[in-house]
Every structure is written in structure tokens, then in C-alpha cells.
Amino acid sequence: MQPEDRYRDFLETLTPRSLERLEDHVSPDVHFADPFNDVRGAAAMRRIFRHMFANIPDVRFQVHHLMRQGDVCLMTWRFSGTLRGRDWSFDGSSLVRFAPDGRVAAHIDYWDAARNFYERLPLLGAVLRRLRRRIAVD
């Protein structure tokens, strides 16, 4: 199995229990970033994922597309779960770079935090939605 397929399988079946095998898939000094975090190291990445599971216990990643050229892989995916009692899902992408040993050296997530998170907050969300409507081209 190719490293990108192995990592996709890991992400698509990720649970709090399988998170214990993170170092089988990422380098000890992995760089992980998303709209809220930018950390280095498997331990820091694990803390982020544990926090995610503590707040969204039914997390699911579904990879739609995967392309690899050399040591760089691009994945597009859908994240879904339940946040504050409501279904929550959004699409995003990840730029993944592999180390020579096949483990992930960098995993950088790209998704719209304003639309997919901040706009769901009670007060701030209303302001951001109104602002987006005013800026949008008809």
C-alpha cells in the first residue's frame, strides 16, 4: 500500500483509540496546521485531535480525491460530526508532504473557518453572515 493510501485509511477510520497509533503515520517532528493551530511534533498534533474528539465525539473524515506527485499529496475531504447538538459538515483540503520513510512530515489543512465555524456562533455569526452578504457580488 502506498503511503498516501495508508494515511487516507488512517484519517477515514480515525477514532480516539486509533489516535494512539499516530506515530506509525506521522514523523516525530511533523508540522500540522489548520485555521486554528500551527504546531510541530506528533505529541502536539495528538493534543489537537484529542481536543477535537472531546468536543465533536462522532468525527468522520471522508477523502474524496487524492493526488500525489513526488513527496507531496493533495487530499480533498469532507469533515462531519455533531457540534453543540447539531450536525456539522464542511469540505476542505490538505496538503500532505511525506518523509523518505513514508510517514507524514507535514499536514496542512485548508478550509473556510469563517463560513464553517465562526458564522455558526450566535452573535458573531450573524455579523459575519451580514458582512459576507454585503461584500458578495450579485
CATH 3.10.450.50 assigned to 3-111: yes
The domain limits of the chain are 3-111
Residue 88, Cβ density class (10 Å: 0-12 exposed, 13-18 middle, ≥19 buried): middle
The confidence score (pLDDT) of residue 118 equals: 46
54/76 Cα distance (integer angstroms): 24
46/117 Cα distance (integer angstroms): 21
Question: Which amino acid is residue 47, in one-letter code?
Answer: R
- pLDDT tens track, the chain, 138 positions: 899 999 999 999 999 999 999 999 999 999 999 988 999 999 999 999 999 999 888 999 999 999 999 999 999 999 999 877 878 888 999 999 999 999 999 999 998 655 555 455 555 555 555 665 666 666
52 SS3 class: helix
Q: Is 102 left (phi over 0), alpha (psi -120 to 50) or beta?
A: left
46/128 Cα distance (integer angstroms): 31
Residue 50: enclosing H or E segment and its boundaries?
helix 42-55
Beta-sheet strand order (sheet of 72-83): 38-40, 26-33, 104-110, 86-98, 72-83, 60-69
